Structure 1
């Protein structure tokens, strides 16, 4: 039986390399490629592949949000998230969004093909180092609103800019920033954003 695969990554070179490697496997066939989350949604719902290999970090909608929307829209495709950055928070958020597996991009080709097969068979595949790091790091200490505010703060705008972006009052934004700084043991909001981002909480 042939397992059909869609590749989603904003770097064409990476997609091409993965497609070439997977097409060497007799039982795997790449049936489509997308460079953004929006493109992936349309493609997956139209092509209906068995497995989607999805990058996390993409312009616009990231891979975790795309996985969540695919599940909400009734896609039966199994999502295997592949990323350069093994951030522990990504694993937890990805699995909560409905992803069936999580591997890093330096996974050898043979193991990546095997991960596709295992995910297709209904199993969950998680990079062991990432799983260990995720257990050690624990869940994000941030509330959803604090995470929203830190995401908006990454662009370096003023409190007024952040408030406008997240539709909150400036006072509420200051409170969320202060709380997030405390929870991440950061020096300031830029440091809090960096720490939260490095842990995959944003």
Structure 2
């Protein structure tokens, strides 16, 4: 007996450029598991539509008429059910990205991101809200591989062995919230798009041992 199909991921597109919204809608709705349920050209409309429709994820532009993006983010996160939020920005500002991540957004992407990467990010943050995804233009990256702390390397080694956040927290004697914060920092430092991407980059840079390596 085949399993029933999973419901489509519902999206709200919030950007004050109508042409960009139209392009995004066409691109995203080409995917069978994605559905754009509403659009907004300003922060107030985005909040109203999110409250009315409860989308799974809001793609939010930083530069829109209405309240500052940080205010809009806080109000979106107060909604129940709470939507996931991915920022789409023209500006690759690591400091501002980190501020928004601290508020609780799930990702911060440059508007130059490719369609395949964007679709991948949407699916990953909806399936695993703890996963924070970042993408900066190469010239604007704030950190380079090789700057992981000892604790970050230790934690990422456990990720490489397919440990969950709960297992990592228990093994290291820290909270799951602390695990998530460490992962956010790791993604930022490695410019990683997911747990596996971070592991692959860390292994390639000899920052952690390969999970396939046999212990001596």
* Cross-structure match for 2:86: 80
Q: 1:128-167 maps to which residues of 2 (within 5 A)? A: 133-134=141-142
Deviation at 1:129, TM superposition (A): 5.2
Would you say the 8 A contact 1:5–1:51 is kept in 2? yes
* Cross-structure match for 1:45: 51
Would you say the 8 A contact 2:16–2:41 is kept in 1? yes
Q: 1:6-155 maps to which residues of 2 (within 5 A)? A: 6-122=12-128, 123-127=131-135, 133-134=141-142
Distance 2:141 2:71 in 1: 22
RMSD (CA atoms): 1.9
Would you say the 8 A contact 2:10–2:56 is kept in 1? yes
Count residues in correspondence.
135
Q: Helix, strand or coil for the counterpart of 1:68?
A: helix
Change (3 A) 1:74 1:134: farther
Distance 2:78 2:37 in 1: 22
Q: Which runs of 5+ in 2 are unaligned?
A: 1-5, 145-216
Q: Helix, strand or coil for the counterpart of 2:85?
A: strand
Deviation at 1:99, TM superposition (A): 0.5
What TM-score does the superposition give when structure 1 sets the normalisation length? 0.62
Worse-matched range after superposition: 42-51 or 75-84: 75-84
Q: Helix, strand or coil for the counterpart of 1:94?
A: helix
Q: Which runs of 5+ in 1 are unaligned?
A: 137-202
Deviation at 1:133, TM superposition (A): 3.4
